[in-house]
Chains A and B, each alone.
Chain A
Amino acid sequence: MEYFIQQLINGLTLGSIYGLIAIGYTMVYGIIGMINFAHGDIFMLGAFVAMIVFLILVAMFTTVHVVFFLLVMMIVAMLTTSLWNWTIERTAYRPLRGSFRLAPLITAIGMSIFISNFVQVTQGPRNKPIPPMINSVYDVAGISISLKQIVIAVVTIVLLAIFWYIVNKTPLGRAQRACEQDRKMAALLGVDVDKTISITFIMGAALAAVAGTLFLMYYGVVAFSDGFVPGVKAFTAAVLGGIGSLPGAVLGGLLIGTIESLWSAYFSIDYKDVAAFSILAIVLIFLPSGLMGRPEVEKV
């Protein structure tokens, strides 16, 4: 039982990171109906920027002030990835809006290859390990919970609260929801659609950057190829939760993280990615609208 709860906690931690990435997928899909394949690489880029900022901070301060460091890493990573995603949207995706349906997906795959190889060329192909930032581990009734996991949980909850507020209570969120329902009608009613889409990309990138920072803090290592698999898993999470639904993305992320963790613990660690990919295929085939999504109506 303790083992099970331990694995559950590990899974939920992992799931929070997937959930944060999944929000970026689900929002972009909801608003322009495209799978932003490069989103996983934006996450990887966020982790890289956080790593570089961490090294600079260590060089500047010699001792590690955890909260301050994490805040600076997150903010710089968020700014950088936001700028990247904004630029990508402007140059690579916007010209293709209204082109044939698969064009943006193909561009996004190209962008994904470009970003990961760009990081490889500029930063080198090796794994980048950093010294552990937080070491404390607490023992609660035979279950060990590390401070890292608590930090991840707190950051995720705070961010989701802010995010929920923005989407549900502000004019910007209203514009986003309007664009999601009907882009043409929203434009007619005075919503600046292009701007709203840009902001959606920026918000998705910022959350991915936070996920990247947390990933770096949790595992203490990042490589240029780390964007693909977490990206696919986060996309699975978004689909599982019902693409377009924000609570669904978080729920899906937590589920995927838990399933992955329990699968590795009880069945086979080798096949954990097979489990994730199988879930993706099964959900898309049998439950395309996900757990919390609306069924898609085919318009002729």
Chain B
Amino acid sequence: MATTHSTAAAATTSAQPNVIADALKEAFYAGLIALGLFVLIIGLKTDQNIHNELIVVQRWSLLFVVVAIVTVGRFAFSAFVWPEVERRRAIGKKAAVASEPGFIKRNINWIGVIALFLFPAFVIWTSGVQGSLKWIDNFGIQVLIYVMLAWGLNIVIGLAGLLDLGYVAFYAVGAYTYALLGTHYGLSFWILLPAAGAMAALWGILLGFPVLRLRGDYLAIVTLAFGEIIRLVLINWREVTNGSAGISGIPKVTFFGIFDFDVSSPFYIGKVFDLPTSGVYYKIFLYYLILILALITAFVTVRLRRMPVGRAWEALREDEIACRSLGINTTNTKLTAFAIGAMFGGFAGSFFAARQGFINPESFVFLQSAIILAIVVLGGMGSLVGIAIAALVMIGGMEALREMQFLKLAFGPNFTPELYRMLLFGMAMVVVMVWKPRGFVGSREPTAFLKSSKSVSGSFTREGHG
């Protein structure tokens, strides 16, 4: 701390003495608080020794590094970043000239869709047939599943304003519907996909019905409880679901029954088209399947927004009391939102089961709901493009973290980046919420409003408060 004081004395002679002096003071306090927060948790680590007893390992250097980072970070923020932000804000207010959106900005949706369709070809071209597997499966399909889930949840949260913390339950219902009916009765994916959607929608209505009267955070907590109940039932109802062991051997998707991707089957794609045996066909097929499913979700969302029910959802989100007094049937409006949102969750679930070939209740924990929620929130509730970008950044970023071998060089061979993904996720949720409560690409303005309206726009009102 001695250095802090000496630099404080030196800083008073600089151009902006107050800013620097204040920043030093803040940095000092931030460092002190960080020391208090982390001294026991980071400074000491509990480990098991060979006798299986817990012992305390000292890590003061790590503690010092963390505290130093907090102190310096706080100083830099208060001394340089914040004044710069303030200055820009002052300038920005004066020169707010609306510019005509360029070609890319106007056609961003189409460019995005075309890029998604070309993605597998691009990957195969750059990293070869075998190398592309990882990118198409772990990266492309994984991200698209989350995009679809987030778009489905967006209907419930972003459009209808109902915070649903148990969305993963519908994902689970869809997955188990396909897994159980597919393994026991051998039904095809193409029959079970709509069935899974219908089943999830039914559960959406069943769970939505009791919570119609609830609002805001009470609704959120009850949906969380329902989500957990479904998961616990899946774990404990062993006769049907096989408990924590899960269901394996879930049949693969076929190409509408014309040919399939099972090497031993007579209609294997390689035999039908005289191609070499490879796992890549199935991955590419799955990629396009989830891409089309996700696009259907987006299309339905966009169209529904323009229909009376979509307008009613948005009205409900902005002000439930006003909505009711204008004669909108809030019961039906809420139930349709739950049902349609759940249906897409169910579609994604059955796809997930088909892709994995194995499911167990571990895939449907609350954390999954929180991740999907985080994507919807970070993307700016209501904005489809924003949500897709958020899913790409969060899920794709996490998958990419796994690939970053150079981090091991920087932090030592025992460094496992995967451990930090949820930490970063939680932090991103907090930071984005504090910094931009409307998300990265927040567009929550109602799609329909009076041209001459002088009243406050929807984004300034508080939900449920009018």
Contacts and interface: CB of A to CB of B under 8 A. Distances in A.
A110 B427 contact: yes
Interface in A261-278: 268, 270-271, 273-274, 277-278
A121 B464 CA distance: 38
B419 A55 contact: no
A278 B434 contact: no
Interface in A200-216: none
The SS class assigned to the A binding surface is helix
A190 interface: no
B433 interface: yes
Interface in B212-255: 213-214, 216-218, 220-222, 224-226, 228-229, 232-233, 235-236
The SS class assigned to the B binding surface is helix
B429 A113 contact: yes
B232 A232 contact: no
Contact of A288 (B54, B214, B377): B214
Interface in A124-148: 124, 126, 128-131
B358 interface: no
Nearest to A112: B426
Contacts of B214: 284-285, 288
Given A102-B163, A105-B163, A107-B430, A113 B41 contact: no
B425 interface: yes
Interface stretch (B42-50, B89-97, B290-298): B42-50
B54 A55 contact: yes
B425 A55 contact: no
Question: Most chain-B CB neighbours within 10 Å: which of A98, A100, A115, A270?
Answer: A100
Interface residues of B, number: 62
B37 A84 contact: yes
A153 interface: no
Contact of A103 (B211, B221, B226, B437): B437
Nearest to B381: A102
Contacts of A84: 37
Interface in A69-108: 76, 79-80, 83-84, 87, 91-92, 95-96, 98-103, 105-107
A240 interface: no
A119 B41 contact: yes
A92 B44 CA distance: 26
A113 B163 contact: no
A2 interface: no
Contacts of B179: none
Question: Most chain-B CB neighbours within 10 Å: which of A55, A113, A232, A268?
Answer: A113
Given A49-B40, A53-B40, A285-B222, A34 B217 contact: yes
Given A102-B217, A113-B422, A119-B41, A278 B48 contact: no
Contacts of B425: 110, 113, 117
A263 B213 CA distance: 29
A277 B433 contact: no
Nearest to A34: B217
A172 interface: no
A76 B423 CA distance: 25
Contact of A280 (B48, B222, B419): B222
Given A80-B36, A124-B45, A100 B430 contact: no
A166 B429 CA distance: 35
Nearest to A119: B41
A111 B222 contact: no
B370 interface: yes
Interface in B417-442: 419-420, 422-423, 425-430, 433-434, 437
A118 B40 CA distance: 13
Contacts of B44: 52, 56
Nearest to A77: B40
B259 interface: no
B210 interface: yes
A47 B420 CA distance: 22
Contacts of A59: 56
B225 A35 contact: no
A298 B217 contact: no
A283 to B, nearest CB: 10
B321 A300 contact: yes
A157 B224 CA distance: 32
A62 interface: no
B45 A110 contact: no
A129 B46 CA distance: 10
Nearest to A272: B232
A16 B380 CA distance: 41
Contacts of B423: 113-114, 117-118, 121
20 contacts: A35-B220, A49-B40, A51-B46, A79-B36, A80-B37, A83-B36, A87-B37, A95-B434, A98-B462, A106-B374, A106-B429, A110-B426, A113-B422, A124-B46, A274-B232, A277-B229, A280-B221, A281-B229, A288-B213, A288-B214
Given A35-B217, A80-B40, A285-B214, 6 more contacts: A45-B41, A107-B430, A109-B165, A113-B370, A114-B423, A281-B225
List the 7 closest pairs (A to B, CB-CB), nearest first. A110-B429, A114-B426, A113-B426, A117-B423, A277-B225, A110-B430, A117-B422
